[in-house]
Amino acid sequence: MSTLGQLKARIARKLSRDDMTDEIADAIQAAIRHYQRRRFTFNEARATTITAAGTEYYDLPSNLIEIDVLKLADGDRTEPLTPRDYAWMDGVSSQPSHRGEPSDYAVFAGQLRLYPIPDGVYTLAIAYVKRLPALASDSDGNAWTDDAQDLICFRALADLYGSELRDLEMAAAMETAARQILEDLTGDTLARVSTGRLRPTAF
């Protein structure tokens, strides 16, 4: 697997600069933040939560960025829960006697809030976009430095040419390259879903 150090070196070579170490590191992290909420084949995840009677709030995975779908899994039956905002949940959950099979949910402060409040044990299956482990040292690597290395590289170059080197023509060229790579990665993700090779919302 490629590493953060190798990605930094690649960007430095393309810039023909060896005096922008900090700027390159910052641009890489900014590029990751820019794309991390998008769903790719490498940042999809699944998890399950088991409810308990009378418990309204449940912890979510610590690496969760965004829920794709939350389903109630009961044997062969799966039932999607409806996402709600927190104000809606406050309005309907004001009575603790409202218990039953959960049909709605809201997310707040890293927790899942269910309505109705579960009246028993249910299995909830979550498909979500996950946050990859942070790249802290040059020896670290993950999908951002491997599967999506080209995307991060050209996005970082667009940032550096635009904000540091003030070369707007090169910045635009790098942004165009990053956009094409993003389309290719997104197309690959959609193709895997549509062919059944990857089904991120099926449990």
Of 130, 151, 169, which one is at a domain's C-terminal end? 130
Question: Do 54 and 118 sit in the same domain of this protein?
Answer: yes
Specify the pLDDT at position 95: 64
Question: Do 49 and 105 sit in the same domain of this protein?
Answer: yes
Question: Do 70 and 29 sit in the same domain of this protein?
Answer: no
Rg (CA), the chain: 21
The model carries a pTM of 0.83
Question: Do 162 and 124 sit in the same domain of this protein?
Answer: no
First to last CA, the chain: 30
Of 87, 106, 130, which one is at a domain's C-terminal end? 130
Specify the pLDDT at position 94: 65
Amino acid occupying residue 70 = L
Question: Do 33 and 53 sit in the same domain of this protein?
Answer: no
Domain-located, residue 71: yes
CA distances from 110 to 29, 124, 129, 153, 183 (A): 23, 16, 14, 31, 31
**Does the CA dihedral 9-11-17-23 come out positive or negative?**
negative
Rounded to whole angstroms, the Cα distance separating 31 from 22 reads 14
Question: Do 113 and 51 sit in the same domain of this protein?
Answer: yes
Q: What is the mean pLDDT of each run of 10 residues along the chain (203 residues)?
A: 97 96 98 95 95 95 95 89 93 76 93 94 96 97 98 98 97 98 88 50 39
Domain-located, residue 201: no
Question: Do 26 and 90 sit in the same domain of this protein?
Answer: no
Question: Do 25 and 60 sit in the same domain of this protein?
Answer: no
Question: Do 178 and 110 sit in the same domain of this protein?
Answer: no
**Does the CA dihedral 33-46-119-116 come out positive or negative?**
positive
Q: Backbone phi, then psi, for 39, in 5-degree steps?
A: -95, 125
Question: Do 23 and 51 sit in the same domain of this protein?
Answer: no
Domain-located, residue 202: no
Q: If you search the block for the tokens 């099926």, which residue do you land on?
A: 202
Question: Do 35 and 83 sit in the same domain of this protein?
Answer: no
Question: Do 74 and 126 sit in the same domain of this protein?
Answer: yes
Structural domain including 139 reads: 4-40+133-195
Domain count, the chain: 2
Specify the pLDDT at position 75: 79
